[in-house]
C-alpha cells in the first residue's frame, strides 16, 4: 500500500472516522471516541486493532509483513510494515479494525 496517505484515504472514507495528531509524531485514527489504528511518524509502520486469532494467523503467514503488537483482552494489535503489505490485505485489515471499534450513534 505505501504509507500514511493510503491509510488515511482508506480510513477517512469510513463513517465517523477522524484523524488525530498524537504523541511522538504518530497519526491516530479513531471512531466512536476510540483509537483503532495509528501510523508511526516515519510512516513505515501502522498498528492496527485486530482479533487475537487474526493477529496470530497474519504473523504466522507473513512475518516479514506483520508482527504482533500488544494484546488487550480479546484484541491482538498487529504491526504492519506498510511498504510490504499487499493493498487489498491492508484495506481489509483496516476496515475490520474500524468494524471492531465503531458504534453507531444512539437514536433519540
63 or 104: which leads in pLDDT = 63
Assess whether pLDDT exceeds 60 at residue 1: no
| C-beta separation of 46 from 40 below 8 A | yes
pLDDT at 87: 92
How sure is the predictor about 53, in pLDDT bands with cuts at 50, 70 and 90?
Answer: very high
The mean predicted confidence, pLDDT, of the chain is 92
pLDDT given at position 107: 61
**DSSP output for 2-18:** -SHHHHHHHHHTSTTEE
pTM of the model: 0.91
69 CB neighbour count, 10 Å cutoff: 20
Amino acid at each position: 500500500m505505501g504509507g500514511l496517505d493510503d491509510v488515511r484515504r482508506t480510513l477517512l472514507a469510513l463513517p465517523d472516522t477522524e484523524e488525530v495528531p498524537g504523541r511522538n509524531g504518530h497519526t491516530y485514527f479513531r471512531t466512536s471516541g476510540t483509537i483503532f489504528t495509528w501510523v508511526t511518524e516515519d510512516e513505515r509502520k501502522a498498528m492496527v486493532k485486530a482479533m487475537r486469532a487474526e493477529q496470530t494467523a497474519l504473523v504466522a503467514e507473513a512475518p516479514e509483513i506483520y508482527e504482533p503488537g500488544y494484546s488487550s483482552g480479546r484484541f491482538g494489535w498487529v504491526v504492519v510494515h506498510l511498504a510490504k503489505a499487499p493493498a487489498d490485505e491492508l484495506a481489509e485489515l483496516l476496515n475490520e479494525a474500524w468494524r471492531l471499534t465503531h458504534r453507531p450513534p444512539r437514536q433519540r
